Every structure is written in C-alpha cells, then in structure tokens.
Amino acid sequence: MALVTTAEVCDANPQLIVSGELRALQPVFQIYGRRQVFSGPIVTLKVFEDNVLVREFLEEKGNGRVLVVDGGGSLRCAILGGNPVVQAQNNGWAGIVVNGCIRDVDEINGCDIGVRALASHPMKANKKGNGEKHVPITFAGTRICDGEWLYADTDGILITRTELSV
C-alpha cells in the first residue's frame, strides 16, 4: 500500500464502504512487530486456545500473505509466540492478525513483520491440532474470507474483497 494510509483509502472510497466491499475492523487490536504497515491476501484460520494449526501455517512459505486467526477472542492463553513469528518473518509472511492473545512480546517486537492481537498473556496454548482452515470467520464486527485482502497501519485494519489499486 505504497504511502497511502488506511484513512486515505476510506476517504477516497465511500462507495466501497457503502457496498461492503471495504470494511474496517473494530479498533480492538494492539500493534506488535517492527512492521507497522502491512498488507496482503488473507489466509483464514479458526482455532480456540490451540496453536498447532497456527504453527503449521507459519512453517509454510508466506509469499506476502497475511494469516488472520480467529482465536475466539480468548484472553486465557496465548495462541501465538515468538518462535512461530520468527519463522513467519523468515518465510515471507507480511503479517498476522490474531483475535486472541500472543506472548514473547519483546521477541515479536524485534521481528520485521506486522502483528496485531487483542493482548499478551504468559500462558501457552493447547497442542491438540483442533481448528478449521480457509473458512469464513467473523470478529471485530467484520466477516473475513480466505482470499480477501487486508491492509493495516497505525490507524486501523481494512478488509477488501479484492486488491486495491492505489
């Protein structure tokens, strides 16, 4: 999103907002990682207090994609930690958005990747492998589908059905 902010995208595209093509997530996320601005095609994952599938995705080549994880909004444990984020950075993921908690914040803040999460929590997640890949998810007031596009900066997070030409 070359030098165009999420606010400018919203101001320039009121028709896309009205039609639902352009949606903003509710402002509930904390900003982590060195990359405050990131964008890319979305890969969705739905889990609850289990991080096996999160780790599996981040072991794959990211190719500039953004992993969007619906962790059910749980504040009881972290479903993302420093090691998988380092792996995601090294595998070319643009960012990770978690509707849940992370841990190893200092390590994550040293990584050149964008991470958004509700909060940090010191307890680790279960490792059962439960969850659903590539499914529509809904959180922060927005339905998010696999293959849509995410744009994030310090003003917020936008979801669009297709890549924006800016």
Mean pLDDT confidence for 11-15? 94
- Residue numbers in the known binding site are 81-84, 103-104
Domains and CATH numbers, the chain: 6-14+24-160 (3.50.30.40)
- Residue numbers in the known binding site for Mg(2+) are 104
Rg (CA), the chain: 15
For residues 141 and 70, give the distance between their C-alpha atoms in angstroms, rounded to a whole number: 12
For residue 155, pLDDT over 50 is answered with: yes
Q: To which residue do tokens 């059910």 refer?
A: 72
Let me know: does 66 contact 89? Beta carbons within 8 Å: no
Can you give the pLDDT at residue 1? Answer: 43
pLDDT tens per residue across span 109-122: 999 999 999 999 99
- Residue numbers in the known binding site for substrate are 81-84, 103
Mean pLDDT confidence for 19-28? 97
Percentage of residues of the chain with pLDDT beyond 70: 98
pLDDT tens per residue across span 55-87: 999 999 999 999 999 999 999 999 999 999 999
Mean pLDDT confidence for 130-157? 97
